Amino acid sequence: MATRSETLAKAAMLRAMFEGQGAVVVEPPILQPAETLLDLYGEDIRARAYVTSDALRGEQMLRPDYTVPVVQMHMAHGADPARYTYAGEVFRRQEHDPARANEFIQVGYEVFDRTDPAAADAEVFALIAEALSGLPVKPVTGDIGILMAAVHGLATTQRRKDALMRHIWRPRRFRSLLERFAGKTPVPAGRAALLAGENQSDAPMIGLRSTQEIEARIEALREDAKTPALSGEEVALIAALLDVREVMPHALSRLRDIAVDLPVIAGAVDLVAARADALAVRGIDTDVLAFEGSFGRSSMEYYDGFVFGFRADLRPELPAVASGGRYDALTKRLGQGDEIPAVGGVMRPGLMLELEATQ
């Protein structure tokens, strides 16, 4: 295992590489405002964040990653376009896997540029691929935007679409909801009784929800119960999207076939094709680059388009050595309505050194 000084030296070298591409070095504070940022990370990171509080500052958390603080900083007073790099510690609780580090060095590169999003995606990916050159890692790509487009285009209520969107990053829950909305699973007995009005009680109210909130929730469930089921064809097409696991040319062919029956995804598929072209211009051999329709659904919940990761296949116990993706919607959320296309990636120099030592 690499020493701390070795890891810091590697991190400095990687950061200098990004500086050479015109990136500005930034260093967001280690303590971040939890109330503002914690919900942006998603369920996994929320559960693993170190949170503290005091009377003056309220809830604070140890920085679990850099991207969200960098986006917040940029949307407050950043240039357009802009590129940033950083290297420093991040902190995540590991209560269920004590073998994984709860404090490690992260190096990253973030691009805010509205000129050509596909080219920006390729820029980030290619630079990280270059930094990892020679290591026993395998890249895989995906695009969360395709699944989002499919959900938005479903022939169902906005309430059901919103529910599915909330659970895109929870594959089991997403699948369960999809099957329920398609009428493939029975309504739970408790909910059936509630919808039938069989749960009336004079017992005192317990909990934080008011009577009005509970009644509104019951009415929403009753309205949902009247909604026609999703068609089997729509469910099958979404399953086909998520089952795509091919090298890029074959994946694009398969996605275009699916788009014939699910035209709402055509625009998102065109973005994948444009990105593939931009990657090829950057020297990436897309003929062997893996694309997975379900990739990225267990990563940061702020990704809404291109996603990628570099995995050490011979060391499956290790987390991704590098990962990243596009997060356009995050810039709008932190920019109070202003937005700019943005993409970034992070690397783990400690893991890179560990893999180098095994060669």
Give the mean model confidence (pLDDT) for residues 3-31: 96
User: How far is Cα 98 from Cα 112, in angstroms, rounded to an integer?
Assistant: 36
pLDDT 10s digits, 84-98: 999 999 998 876 666
Q: In this predicted structure, what is the pLDDT of residue 192?
A: 58
pLDDT 10s digits, 116-137: 999 999 999 999 999 999 999 9
Please name every residue paired with 88 in a beta bridge, in sequence order, or none if there are none: 106
Mean pLDDT score across all residues of the chain = 89
On the question of pLDDT at 112 being above 70, the answer is yes
Instruction: Please state the separation of Cα 287 from the chain's center in Å.
Output: 25
* Structural domains of the chain in order of their starting residue, each with its CATH number: 1-134+341-359 (3.30.930.10), 138-183+229-311 (3.30.930.10), 184-200+210-228 (no CATH)
Q: Which of 188-202, 217-231, 244-258 has the lowest mean pLDDT?
A: 188-202
Q: In this predicted structure, what is the pLDDT of residue 215?
A: 61
pLDDT 10s digits, 286-320: 999 999 999 998 777 889 999 999 999 889 889 99
Give the mean model confidence (pLDDT) for residues 214-230: 71
Q: Which two tokens mark 218?
A: 């019951």
Backbone angles phi, psi at 48, to 5 degrees: -115, 5
User: How far is Cα 247 from Cα 232, in angstroms, rounded to an integer?
Assistant: 28
3-state secondary structure of 293: coil
On the question of pLDDT at 83 being above 70, the answer is yes
Q: Where are the alpha helices (DSSP H) in 132-247?
A: 144-152, 158-166, 171-181, 189-195, 211-225, 232-242
Give the mean model confidence (pLDDT) for residues 208-229: 68
Q: In this predicted structure, what is the pLDDT of residue 198?
A: 55
pLDDT band of 35, cuts 50, 70, 90: confident
Q: In this predicted structure, what is the pLDDT of residue 193?
A: 59
On the question of pLDDT at 43 being above 80, the answer is no
Closest by Cα among 326, 328, 339, 298 to 123:
326
Contacts of 214 by beta carbon, 8 Å cutoff, 6+ apart: none
CA dihedral 294, 144, 47, 29 (to 10 degrees): 140
pLDDT band of 23, cuts 50, 70, 90: very high
Q: In this predicted structure, what is the pLDDT of residue 25?
A: 97
Q: pTM of the prediction?
A: 0.88
Q: Which of 73-77, 147-151, 152-156, 186-190 has the lowest mean pLDDT?
A: 186-190
Give the mean model confidence (pLDDT) for residues 161-168: 94
Give the mean model confidence (pLDDT) for residues 147-154: 96
pLDDT 10s digits, 170-184: 899 999 999 999 988
